[in-house]
Amino acid sequence: MIRVSVVGATGYAGIELVRLLYSHPKVELVHLVSQSFAEQPISDIYPNFKGLLDKACSQLDIDKIAKESDVVFTSLPHGISNQVIPALYERGKKVIDLSGDFRYKSAEVYEKWYGIRHMSPDMLQASVYGLPELHRDEIKTARLIGNPGCYPTCAILGLAPLVKQGLIDLNSIIIDAKSGATGAGREPSQALHFCEVDENIKAYKVATHRHTSEIEQELSILAQREVALSFTPHLLPVKRGILSTIYANLKKSLTFGDVYSLYSEFYAGEPFITLHQEGSLPEIKHVNGSNNCHIGFVVDRRTNRIIVVAAIDNLIKGAGGQAVQNMNILFDLDETTGLRNPGWYL
């Protein structure tokens, strides 16, 4: 069994990770760390675990966690992870970080978009961006994985084949993304009160959202040149799910069949990618509760523009599920172990 600890177990991403790990046939949950709820059973905080997982949360004890764990997941706020992870890494642990702290290759880019100083810039070159569909071989031998953000996961998977093959004008990319309220985390705020979210939809952090830089980093690697794009996130009056509608100008005339063949070849054998046939587009109902990413597209021949629609569950493929997928790769398990289930739909 793989001995697993989760640091930051009681946030929304953290508890979804715990739920997935609890059902994983090769995992033993050793430590659930929560500074806010130390000594309280996890089932008191999230009663859906009552009678199933009643383990008490604990304070952070680096030495104990390192001694008793094979892999540590950190689901902490950005700026906190990079203060905790170096000590685990120095003790030889494999670490999968769900914050933004180790997703970047450049401390300068991180500091520009996050507005804080990176406390462990020397470790950025050792980290691997944990998007298996693009970085599987690197993940296999990594000891530090920066688990991708939810918006970037959806957008990058939606765009990767087109960018890699140079079929779109890289200066024309527009990403219009909409997310459920869990994407903002568990910390209370006025913007997330029921009366603010219900029967409403709003754009936020227009042209300034930090995930812009993460998307640009990965697309620039694929394109082998710098990519700058427009990204606008929106808050939906739902709990979970991301739907990204992505626009780009084509460099040449393509049919739906051309694009479908391109995506089919690029994602051949990928267990969590589902491509929609012509006339069908993804919805968040198709993916919520799963680690799947659904992708569909329309070729607008009138404007010679492609519209890509991609959907994921922000808490699973956009957080905990992708982290488990990365763990499976690290430990040479079938990548789908503990994750092969359809979305809830209802």
Query: CB pairs under 8 A, 24+ apart, for 58-66?
Result: 58/31, 58/32, 58/33, 58/34, 59/33, 59/35, 60/7, 60/33, 60/35, 60/84, 62/87, 62/88, 62/91, 63/91, 64/31, 65/5, 65/7, 65/30, 65/31, 65/33, 65/93, 66/91, 66/92, 66/93
Query: Under a CB-based contact definition with an 8 Å cutoff, are residues 331 and 28 in contact?
Result: no
Terminal C-alpha separation, the chain:
34
Strand ranges inside 180-251, DSSP E: 202-203, 230-235, 242-249
| Residue owning tokens 């949360």 | 57
57 is catalytic: no
How many residues belong to the chain?
346
Q: Which of 57, 150, 154, 293 is catalytic?
A: 150
Torsion angle (degrees, nearest 10) of CA 269, 273, 277, 280: 170
The continuous run of DSSP H or E covering 293 comes out as strand 293-300
Q: Which residues are catalytic?
A: 150
